[in-house]
Amino acid sequence: MASGVYFCDIKGKPILSRRYRDDISISAIDNFAPLLFELEEESSVIPPCLSHRDVQYMFIQHEDLYVVAISTSLQTNAAQIFTFLHKLVAVLGDYLKTVEEESVRDNFVIIYELLDEMMDYGIPQITETKMLKQYITQKSFKLVKAVKKVKAVARPPTTLTNSVSWRAEGITYKKNEAFLDMVESVNMLMTHQGQVLRSEIIGQVKVKSRLSGMPDLKLGINDRGIFSKITSDVVNDGEPSSITSGKKKLNVELEDLKFHQCVRLSKFENEKIITFIPPDGDFELMSYRLTTPVKPLIWCDVNVQVHSQSRIEIHCRAKAQIKKKTIANNVEILIPVPDDADTPSFKYSHGSIKWVPEKSAILWKIRSFSGGKEYSMAAQMGLPSISGNEKPKFKRPVQVKFQIPYFTTSGINVRYLKITEPKLQYKSYPWVRYITQSGDDYTIRLN
């Protein structure tokens, strides 16, 4: 339970604060900046929870802000506080577009109002933007889509405390549609030789619902855990296999399924059926993780030769190890070079290459990379002839980014999406898209 929530600038100075309890002094936050500073002096390990004279400071960083929660009790649920802070930033993001020092300064009033509704006496209350929007009266300056000013006096919507607390009643659309995006992010760690040390697929099912009334949705996907009746001996050997071409039905086993709060968890637990009444607009319906080993989708063979005190040579061969018909878009290969390298010269057949000195790396961009193709490049950079003080050699991996549309690595696909609205009984249109992309950690280690 938080005693107060603070927005601090990059120096740790409070810009906006809301105290929920008086068990901390007004000046408690003033200790945060020196505390942080002192710790930074000492080492580069800055844990997100600091303690000073029995006052606990839990903080997250977002853009140029520190969002801090202060508590005096060690019994405070730290997990809850951290999740709340992240949620708070997300909600503000919905209101202010960007959450940074300037936008916070411009929107004091609405942030106060939100803080007041989202937390009471340090206990998180309601954090659904869609519901908050209905009874938060203030307008923000940068609100993406101004909420229709409700003519009627604002009052808490009745659904707020119902069991369906995420959807208001009386929503209508002319055309009823639901869009499903299956996004898979591949995280992979490979050695220089191409051995995969770690690979995981993090999948998200994002829904944009534009449906009237209180629709009940039922989603069917080809997960083995969900449809255990269909037996299949297909072993996902990592070959990004086609979903449609194979005659035998491919079933994948998803781990760590996580659902949006609208999904009836007990129904899923007992009957393995995903049913839900969706919130209006965009939301993430579910996420999952797969640890089945996968072959690298984009593989780079990078060779670096350092001729110390004269030059560095880099050869890179990139290969798209995906099906011929599929295309990887916006492929970016970031190859680290020493800090003091300069005067780059490149030879390459495809895409564009530039040197990014602020990241000490060269960036090779290939807009579209068809499956099975292989491109290569060579780069040469000068190294200063006088070596400075023996700097520790920085070992950084090659990072790769890409997007592959119309394709899921795991082979998951949507069997059906049934939409029923008992009262209105309209015709509705579900749309499904698939995309595979690099996660935040798709890296190849260098020798």
Partner 1 sequence: MAPLNKKIQKFLKDSIRVAPKISKKGELAELRNGLVSPYPQTRKDAIKKTIQQMTLGKDVSSLFPDVLKNIATNDVEQKKLVYLYVMNYAESHPELCILAVNTFVTDAQDPNPLIRCMSIRTMSMVRVDKILEYVEIPLRRTLQDDNPYVRKTAVICVAKLFQLNQELCIELGVLEDLVSALDDSNPMVVANATAALTEIHGVDPSVVSLPKLINSHVSQFLLALNECTEWARITILGALADYSAKDSLEAQDIIDRVSAHLQHVNPAVVLATIKVIIRNLPQIQQQNFKAISLKLSSALVSIMSTPPEMQYVALKNIRIILEKYPELLVKELRIFYVKFNDPLYVKLEKIDIMVRLVDATNLKQCNLLLTELKEYAMEFEPEFVSKSIQGITQLAIKYSGEKFVSKALDDLLELVDRTENLKDDCCIAMCDLLRHCPTNEKIASDICALLNSWAVPESSLISDAAKCNYIWLMGHYPEKFTDLEGKLDQMIENFVQEECMTQASILMTVVRLHTQLPGSTLQNVLEMATTSVNEIDIRDMAMIYWRCLSMPNSDTLVDQLCKSVAPIFENALDNFSTETLEKLLNELSTISSIYFRPQSVRAKRYVLRQNIVRGKRMDELKDMAKNEIAKNMNDDVLLDFGDDEPKTSSSGNVSSNLLDDLDDIFGFNSTGATTSSETKDMQSSTNKMNTSTTNTQDLLNLF
The residues in 101-160 that bind partner 1, with binding defined as CB under 8 A, are: 108-109, 112-113, 116, 120-121, 123-128, 135, 137-138, 153-156, 160
Q: Which is nearer to partner 1, 74 or 386 (CB)?
A: 74
DSSP 300-367: EEEEEEEETTTEEEEEEEEEE-S-TT-EEEEEEEEEE--TT-EEEEEEESSSEEEEEGGGTEEEEEEE
Q: What angle do CA 62, 63, 67 make, to 5 degrees?
A: 35
231 near partner 1, judged by CB under 8 A: no
Beta carbons within 10 angstroms of residue 179's beta carbon: 15
Q: Which is nearer to partner 1, 21 or 373 (CB)?
A: 21
Question: Contacts with partner 1: how many residues (CB under 8 A)?
Answer: 92
Q: Are strands 216-221 and 176-190 parallel, antiparallel or unpaired?
A: unpaired
Q: CA 239 to CA 326: how far, in whole Å?
A: 14
Q: Which is nearer to partner 1, 80 or 241 (CB)?
A: 80
Q: CA 316 to CA 375: how far, in whole Å?
A: 8
Q: Which is nearer to partner 1, 237 or 255 (CB)?
A: 255
What is the per-residue binding string for partner 1 in 191-220, x denoting contact by CB under 8 A?
------xx-x-x------------------
Q: Which is nearer to partner 1, 374 or 441 (CB)?
A: 441
Q: CA 321 to CA 335: how far, in whole Å?
A: 20
Q: In what order do the strands lie in the sheet with 298-307?
A: 298-307, 311-320, 374-382, 342-348
The span of 78-86, 91-99, 294-302, 420-428 binding partner 1 (CB under 8 A) equals 78-86
443 near partner 1, judged by CB under 8 A: yes
What is the per-residue binding string for partner 1 in 260-279, x denoting contact by CB under 8 A?
xx--xxx-xx----------
What part of residues 30-69 is at the interface with partner 1 (CB under 8 A)? 43-49, 51, 56, 58, 60
What is the per-residue binding string for partner 1 in 157-186, x denoting contact by CB under 8 A?
---xx-x-x---------------------
Binding residue (CB under 8 A) for partner 1 from 2, 12, 19, 32: 19
What part of residues 422-441 is at the interface with partner 1 (CB under 8 A)? 440-441
Closest alpha carbon to 209 in 197, 217, 200: 217
Q: Which is nearer to partner 1, 251 or 287 (CB)?
A: 287
Closest alpha carbon to 291 in 159, 198, 194: 198
Q: Which is nearer to partner 1, 257 or 378 (CB)?
A: 257
